Structure 1
Amino acid sequence: MTTTGRRALLVAGAAAGVTALAGCTSSPGGRTRRPSAAELEAERVARAEAALRLRSVTAARGLLERYDATLSAHPSLAPRLTPLRRAVAAHAKALGEGGTTVEPVAATASADASPATPASPSAPASASASASGRSTVPAAPVRVAADPRAALRELAAAERGASDGHAAALLTAPPEYARLLASVAAACAAHAYLLTEGAPA
């Protein structure tokens, strides 16, 4: 086969590949398919819920880290704190079980957008956060008071803060998740009581 013949064959093969690709990404009318308004709205709702779950999981994990730091600084508090820490760990797991990331409804929704465009800095948490709710940015170490009673007060304050945060999230949470948030908020408030007034330090 001559050089001209091979070149013609390559051109024909490339053209066939382009035609096949266009058939995969285009609608029957020849236009790129874009998601419907209903699909976009469903994605918006799903993203809002995923962001809410991520914030809730992050708060629970932060509380869990404070328990770990307090136990590390004051091992003598283990009998008192271990049951509460176990409950907080269960809360963190339950709050993230619905997923904290959402895939776009269609890759062709923004055909004119550059694939190299960086993620918006206003997006909730890190763009690379996984379904576990962890960010790629390492958290600052938790500082714990040297006095055990002060450390318990810090834990109680953290529990109250978590309770308030979960209660505030009820306003925008879907019904099933709102019930979970209400339960976790109540548990955090009970923990705060147990850490301060409920038992002697």
Structure 2
Amino acid sequence: MGRRALLTSGAAGAAAALAGCTSDGDRGGPRKPSAAERAAAAEAALRARSVATSRDLLLRYDAVIEGHPALAARLAPLRASVAAHVKALGEGGAAPAPGPTASTPPSAAAASSSASPAAASPSGSPASVRVPSDPAAALQDLAAAVRGTADTHTAALLTAPPEYARLLASVAASGAAHAYLLTEGARG
């Protein structure tokens, strides 16, 4: 069994245990989860959503690189940062789901996509993300996705425990810098 599968099954088992499926000996009914169990379950769910959000962004980077290999050198450092975010957001909780590895960029040999500028919701592979055929439009779409991801992480700060909130704030700030580099920073 691979490490990811082991982590995923362990996280699933922990989530099931936190669901409060044991019985209460005093009343004979299901026992209500304690405040600590509810907090742990809420944090695990938040981590899973945060990882999924950043993983979707990583897939968008992969799709743009596949669709526009000439942008690969420019996007590689930003993509690597997002891959590190996926890993950091999942540490101590939800493991990233199987799929393209965060450290392996997609093949740069893929043909350019001629899909419309409207981006599809990522569903597990760079090929599932539509990328505009114009490189400038592809960068604009990617920057919009980066801003959306940063906004999602910022909104999650309201319910995050303190330590995880600091991480989310850092990831959101990084996303704002990435959006700038993808748009305004390229003009200078």
Equivalent position of 2:42 in the other structure = 48
Identity %: 64
Equivalent position of 1:73 in the other structure = 67
Flag structure 2 segments of 5+ consecutive residues without an equivalent: 1-21, 100-122
The one-letter amino acid paired with 2:155 is A
Paired with 1:157 and 1:26, the residues of 2 have a C-alpha distance of 48
Query: Deviation at 1:99?
Result: 1.1
Equivalent position of 1:84 in the other structure = 78
Cα deviation 1:88-108 (Å, max 9, x = unaligned) = 0000000000212xxxxxxxx
TM-score by structure 1 length?
0.64
The one-letter amino acid paired with 1:91 is H
The one-letter amino acid paired with 1:63 is L
Residues 175 and 26 (structure 1), Cα distance of their counterparts in 2 relative to 1, 3 Å cut: closer
Equivalent position of 2:96 in the other structure = 132
Is the contact made by 1:96 and 1:133 (CA closer than 8 Å) also made in structure 2?
Answer: no
Residues 95-174 of structure 1 correspond to what in structure 2 (within 5 A)? 95-100=89-94, 131-133=95-97, 139=124, 141-174=128-161
The one-letter amino acid paired with 2:59 is E
- Aligned counterpart for 2:88 among listed residues 81, 88, 94: 94
Query: Deviation at 1:34?
Result: 6.7
Cα deviation 1:116-165 (Å, max 9, x = unaligned) = xxxxxxxxxxxxxxx32469xx5471000000000000110000001100
Secondary structure of the equivalent of 1:194? helix
The one-letter amino acid paired with 2:49 is R
- Runs (4+) of structure 1 exceeding 4 A deviation are 29-35
Residues 83 and 34 (structure 1), Cα distance of their counterparts in 2 relative to 1, 3 Å cut: same
Paired with 1:50 and 1:196, the residues of 2 have a C-alpha distance of 34
Paired with 1:183 and 1:30, the residues of 2 have a C-alpha distance of 46
Aligned residues: 142
- Aligned counterpart for 1:189 among listed residues 158, 176, 179: 176
Q: Which has the larger radius of gyration?
A: 1
Query: Deviation at 1:199?
Result: 1.1
Is the contact made by 1:54 and 1:133 (CA closer than 8 Å) also made in structure 2?
Answer: no
Please tell me the root mean square deviation across aligned C-alpha atoms, in Å. 2.7
Query: Deviation at 1:166?
Result: 0.4
